[in-house]
Amino acid sequence: MANILVTGGAGFIGGNFLHFWAKHHPDDKLIVLDCLTYAGNKSTIAGVEQAELVIGDIRNGKLVEELLRDRNIGTVVHFAAESHVDRSITGPDAFIDTNILGTNSLLKAAKAVWLDEGSGRPHRFHHISTDEVYGSLGLNDAAFSETHPYQPNSPYSASKASSDHLVRAYHHTFGLEVTTTNCSNNYGAYQYPEKLIPLFLLNALHGRSLPIYGDGMNVRDWLHVEDHCRGIEACLKRGISGETYNIGGGEELPNLTVIERICSEVDKAFGAIDGLADRYPDAPAACGRPTSELKTFVPDRVGHDRRYAVDATKARADLGYKPHHDFDSGLAATLRWYIDNEAWWRNIQTTS
């Protein structure tokens, strides 16, 4: 039995990780440290019996030290972050505070309890990062490997890059046992509906426009969130301290293709699910029209990276990582989840 501190566990990926970990490791105790920003939601982790929510800030070093010491925690899985690129453009300060200072505060606390107090306890600090730290690829460039230079382009990716460097530095300077995973774009259940897939699914259900940045040809590598959790689990089990691993799905798609697939999944759902037209009468599909009529092109986001693609060869070879979901079935399951869990997204939209 292990005691694991999960920061940001009330958010999208952290919440999915709790569900995943509790299912596969029922004897472990999960202590969730989350300050419940607009992106954090208690109902995301409802039902995970092994999880205990501590409402608090990762920048509170004293609290983190107490948790590590008093709860006998040997593993930190660090998800907590400001995570939305658009918000980092309009308000970068929160990204610097949480992603850089917050990560440093966690690392300092881990060093104090795990190293300076001489507990000799085996430990691991696992840091969750993004492929966006590598910058943008041209259409014919090879996918990002772990040795690709860091070239972050948004305040979000710059703050994540900085946190990755801090994690690396605590390993090299102090000997803290760390691993980092850099993952591609995730989708799945419990994602806050400001991100592309849930935003477009819900807009389609409500007959609202589907705003497509620029020409819609920005390419992203999509990964079902459960496969990200699988990659983190593989890294916690088999990752070598001091190493970084890319996690990706190898499903590169232009945004326009993703949006077209969303439209076609929504059209199919209205044909297949009884009562959907009564629940969402404003959807074009409720009266037999194609959801694609909601597509609207809008001016591009400033500094919009053209293409991300992740080379996950190292994780596959060294960790035995293998994604289980393909995009089409994962997207259909995600749409079904949002249809079946209306209370979850209605609640967060009214409280944020």
Q: Give the binding site for ligand NAD (CB under 6 A).
A: 7-8, 10-14, 33-37, 39-40, 57-59, 79-81, 83, 98, 102, 128, 130, 160, 183, 185-186, 192
Q: Is 321 marked active-site?
A: no
**Taking Cα atoms as reference points, which of 109, 24, 18, 22 lies closest to residue 60?**
109
Minimum distance from CB of 95 to ligand NAD (Å)? 10
CA-to-CA distance for 81 and 30, rounded, in angstroms? 19
Phi, psi (deg, nearest 5) at residue 313: -55, -40
Distance of closest approach, residue 101 Cβ to ligand NAD, in angstroms: 9
Catalytic status, residue 66 = no
Nearer to ligand NAD, 94 or 332 (CB): 94
Q: How far is the CB of 287 from ligand NAD (least distance, A)?
A: 34
DSSP-assigned states of every residue in 192-240:
-TTSHHHHHHHHHHHT--EEEETTS--EEEEEEHHHHHHHHHHHHHHPP
Shortest Å, Cβ 169 to ligand NAD: 18
Token pair, residue 179, equals: 């691993």
Tell me if residue 156 is catalytic: yes
- Least separation in angstroms between residue 310's CB and ligand NAD is 10
Nearer Cβ to ligand NAD (19/267): 19
Q: Say which residues have a Cβ less than 8 Å from residue 243's Cβ, sequence separation at least 6.
A: 179, 180, 318
Nearer to ligand NAD, 60 or 264 (CB): 60
Check 131, 221, 251, 311 and give the catalytic one.
131
- Of the candidates 57, 134, 156, 308, the residue annotated as catalytic is 156
Largest distance between two CA atoms of the chain: 68
Nearer to ligand NAD, 207 or 231 (CB): 231
Output 13 or 258, the one with its CB closest to ligand NAD.
13
Which residue in the list 65, 132, 177, 226 is annotated as catalytic? Answer: 132
Question: Both tokens of residue 255?
Answer: 């945004």
Alpha helix stretches (DSSP H) within 2-153: 12-24, 61-70, 85-90, 93-95, 103-110
Residue number of the CB atom closest to ligand NAD: 11
Residue 72 and residue 85 in contact, taking contact as beta carbons nearer than 8 Å: no
Catalytic center residues: 131-132, 156
